[in-house]
């Protein structure tokens, strides 16, 4: 089914889709890891590819930045293209002393400053959490890939503001035990919950907001391979 944001047709996407924010990262994953990858969507430069990884069909498509963009693309994949699992692979800023640059953060829950959940008229606060079976498969894969020591699992913050979080606000979230800040997971988790699908967020720490450390834009685009392999191994573990 064609949508306003996706030119793919039925059957073009695999059951599991990896979703980086950056279209260039989507292209990198497809060209580096997928066999026989083909471009299935390029509307507005949001590139989507489908191929196979170790014999298992896998797709990868960018989400763009922020919860509104993630909300659109993940909803369409879930609702119109029969996608069952979306694994977000992106960058995050650490706000925890024990979470260092290049460490992996898995969002078991996604607190948020967004009003995304208000559309459901729930009359309360919705807890945006990942799918347990995806998390379980992912954690098993951290062991097989030797990544458990640098992987942190817990609550993250999905923020609507890239520049608006003050040091005082960051410290308050840190004091609540949150691991990192990113901008998409909560919307992804809410769409998955609403539509009865599965979602997980795996992020590489690109910045440390307490220590004022950061990776370069080129490093963010091309050197997050541990995260990408972990997501791909999780995708094929779901088929076992």
For 169-185, the pLDDT digits (tens) are 899 999 999 999 999 99
Q: In terms of DSSP bridges, do strands 16-19 and 180-182 run parallel, antiparallel, or are they unpaired?
A: unpaired
pTM of this structure: 0.94
What pLDDT was estimated at residue 221? 62
CATH of segment(s) 16-237: 3.40.50.1580
Indicate the range of 3-12, 30-39, 42-51 predicted with least confidence. 3-12
In whole angstroms, what is the distance from residue 82 CA to residue 176 CA? 37
* Among candidate residues 90, 70, 74, 88, the one with its CA nearest the CA of residue 13: 74
Identified catalytic residue from 160, 175, 207, 225: 207
188 neighbors 78 (Cβ within 8 angstroms): no
62 neighbors 48 (Cβ within 8 angstroms): yes
Domain boundary assignment for the chain: 16-237
Q: Mind spelling out the 3-state secondary structure of 95-149?
A: CCCCCCCCCEEEEEEEEECCCHHHHHCCCCCCCCECCHHHHHHHHHHHHHCCCHH
Question: What radius of gyration, in Å, describes the C-alpha atoms of the chain?
Answer: 17
Task: Pull the structure tokens for residue 138.
Answer: 């992912």
CA separation (Å) from 90 to 51, 63, 183? 20, 10, 9
Phi (first) and psi of residue 121, to 5 degrees: 50, 50
Residue 240 DSSP SS3: coil
Q: Is 12 a catalytic residue?
A: no
For 215-233, the pLDDT digits (tens) are 887 776 666 899 999 999 9
């Amino acid at each position: 089914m064609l949508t306003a944001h996706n030119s793919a047709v039925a059957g073009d996407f695999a059951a599991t889709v990896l979703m980086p924010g950056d279209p260039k990262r989507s292209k990198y994953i497809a060209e580096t890891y997928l066999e026989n990858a083909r471009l299935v969507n390029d509307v507005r430069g949001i590139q989507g590819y489908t191929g196979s990884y170790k014999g298992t069909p896998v797709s990868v498509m960018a989400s763009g930045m922020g919860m509104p963009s993630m909300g659109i693309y993940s909803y369409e994949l879930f609702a119109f293209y029969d996608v069952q699992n979306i694994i977000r692979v992106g960058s995050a800023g650490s706000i925890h002393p024990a979470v260092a640059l290049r460490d992996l953060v898995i969002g078991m829950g996604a607190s948020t400053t967004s009003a995304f959940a208000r559309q459901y008229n729930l009359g309360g606060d919705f807890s945006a959490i990942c799918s347990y079976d995806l998390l379980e498969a992912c954690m098993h894969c951290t062991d097989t890939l030797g990544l458990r020591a640098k992987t942190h699992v817990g609550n993250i913050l999905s923020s609507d503001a890239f520049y608006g979080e003050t040091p005082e606000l960051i410290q308050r979230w840190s004091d609540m035990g949150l691991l990192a800040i990113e901008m998409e997971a909560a919307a992804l988790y809410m769409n998955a919950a609403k539509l009865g699908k599965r979602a997980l967020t795996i992020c590489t720490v690109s910045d440390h907001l307490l220590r004022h450390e950061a990776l370069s834009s080129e490093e963010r685009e091309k050197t997050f391979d541990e995260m990408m392999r972990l997501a791909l191994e999780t995708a094929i573990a779901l088929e076992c």
